[in-house]
C-alpha cells in the first residue's frame, strides 16, 4: 500500500444548481475509485477542506473551493530510472526528469514521482513544482524551495517570461527539407478526460516548431512552446503530420498496457531560460537527456 504524506488538491468547478454532494463530485471526477472508497476516506477524516479540516458527508459543495485528499494505491509501479539535480540554491531546484516518471502524484503513482523522490533525497519537504511536463516526457523541471519567493518565480511562467525549448523525433519522409511552422489554435480537454483536442475558438496554445534534420526515416525537431497547455506540443506536432515517435495518445489513443521502457516518448524538455526575479541575472539550464537519434 502506498500512501502519500502530502495532500493532493482538486477544485470544485462551477456547476448549475442543485449542487451535487462532495461524495458524488469526487466519485465522478475520479471514476477509478468507487463511491464506497471515497465514502470511507471521508469517514476516516482523510478528505480536507480549504482550512485543512476533515469534511463530512454533509459538507456542502462550494464552487471554486478546494478539496485536499491523500492518494492511496494498493500497488505502485517502480520506475527504474533516476532523476538528477542540476542546480540547487536557497530559492530554486532544477531537476532533470527521466521518461515515465510523473512530476507529481497521480493515478497509480504516489511515491514514484519526481516531487516525492526529491523531497526524500534533499530533505526539503516544502518543495513545489513551478510547472509540469508529461509523465512520458523527459527533461527539465523547475521547483521552488522557498515559500517567500515562490510567487515571484511562479509569475515568470504565468506571464510567459520563461523561454522553453524541447527536442523531439518523428517518423518523416526522407525528402522532407528543414522548415519551420508557427502553430496557433485552441486546445481543450477531450474524451477520455486525459486526452486533449483542438476546437474552434479563441487561441490559447502557441508553438514554434522547426524541422532541424532528417536522417533515414527519422526527423529531429526543435520546439518552442509559447504557452503551456497540456499535451500542447504533442498535439501541434500531430497537426503538422509529425506525430512524436512512441506517442501512445496521439494521433490515435493506443490500447492501455504496461510501460515499455525500451520505447520512451521521443520528447525532451531541453532548455529553460529566464531572468531571475531576485538577482536580475540570466539563468540558463540545459538537460542532459538525449533522444534516440
C-alpha cell at 14: 462551477
Q: How many residues belong to the chain?
A: 293
Res 173: pLDDT: 75
pTM listed for this prediction = 0.84
Res 146: pLDDT: 97
Res 175: pLDDT: 72
The reply to whether 2-73 and 84-162 are identical in fold is no
User: Which class is domain 2-73?
Assistant: alpha beta
Res 107: pLDDT: 81
Domain 165-268 has CATH 1.10.10.200: no
Res 174: pLDDT: 65
Res 1: pLDDT: 59
Domain residue spans of the chain? 2-73, 84-162, 165-268
Question: Within a 10 A sphere around the Cβ of 267, how many other Cβ atoms?
Answer: 29
Question: CA end-to-end span of the chain, whole Å?
Answer: 39
Burial class of 163 by CB neighbour count within 10 A (0 to 12, 13 to 18, 19+): middle
H or E element in which residue 96 lies: strand 92-97
Residues of the chain with confidence (pLDDT) below 50: none
Res 279: pLDDT: 96
Secondary structure (3-state) at 22: helix
Nearest alpha carbon to residue 83 among 92, 69, 95, 70 = 95
Q: Kindly state the greatest CA–CA separation across the chain.
A: 65
User: Which class is domain 84-162?
Assistant: alpha beta
H or E element in which residue 144 lies: strand 138-144
Res 7: pLDDT: 86
Amino acid at each position: 500500500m502506498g500512501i502519500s504524506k502530502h495532500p493532493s488538491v482538486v477544485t470544485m468547478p462551477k456547476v448549475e444548481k442543485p449542487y451535487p454532494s462532495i461524495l458524488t463530485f469526487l466519485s465522478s471526477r475520479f471514476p477509478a475509485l468507487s463511491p464506497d472508497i471515497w465514502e470511507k476516506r471521508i469517514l476516516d477524516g482523510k478528505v480536507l477542506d480549504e482550512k485543512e479540516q476533515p469534511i463530512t458527508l454533509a459538507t456542502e459543495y462550494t464552487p471554486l473551493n478546494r478539496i485536499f485528499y491523500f492518494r492511496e494505491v494498493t500497488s505502485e509501479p517502480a520506475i527504474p530510472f533516476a532523476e538528477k539535480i542540476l542546480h540547487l540554491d536557497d530559492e530554486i531546484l532544477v531537476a532533470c526528469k527521466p521518461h515515465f516518471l510523473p512530476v507529481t502524484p497521480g493515478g497509480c503513482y504516489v511515491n514514484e514521482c519526481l516531487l516525492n523522490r526529491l523531497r526524500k533525497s534533499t530533505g526539503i519537504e516544502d518543495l513545489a513544482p513551478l510547472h509540469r511536463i508529461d509523465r512520458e516526457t523527459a527533461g527539465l523541471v523547475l521547483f521552488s524551495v522557498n515559500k517567500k519567493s515562490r510567487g515571484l518565480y511562479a509569475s515568470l511562467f504565468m506571464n510567459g517570461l520563461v523561454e522553453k525549448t524541447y527536442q523531439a523525433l518523428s517518423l518523416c519522409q526522407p525528402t522532407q527539407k528543414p522548415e519551420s511552422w508557427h502553430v496557433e489554435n485552441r486546445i481543450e480537454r477531450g474524451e477520455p478526460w486525459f486526452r486533449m483536442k483542438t476546437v474552434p475558438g479563441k487561441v490559447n496554445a502557441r508553438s514554434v516548431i522547426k524541422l532541424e534534420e532528417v536522417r533515414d526515416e527519422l526527423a529531429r525537431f526543435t520546439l518552442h512552446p509559447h504557452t503551456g497547455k497540456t499535451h500542447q506540443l504533442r498535439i501541434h506536432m500531430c497537426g503538422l503530420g509529425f506525430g512524436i515517435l512512441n506517442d501512445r495518445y496521439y494521433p490515435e489513443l493506443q490500447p492501455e498496457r504496461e510501460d515499455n521502457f525500451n520505447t520512451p516518448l521521443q520528447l525532451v524538455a531541453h532548455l529553460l531560460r529566464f531572468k531571475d526575479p531576485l538577482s536580475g541575472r540570466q539563468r540558463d539550464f540545459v538537460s542532459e537527456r538525449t533522444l534516440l537519434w
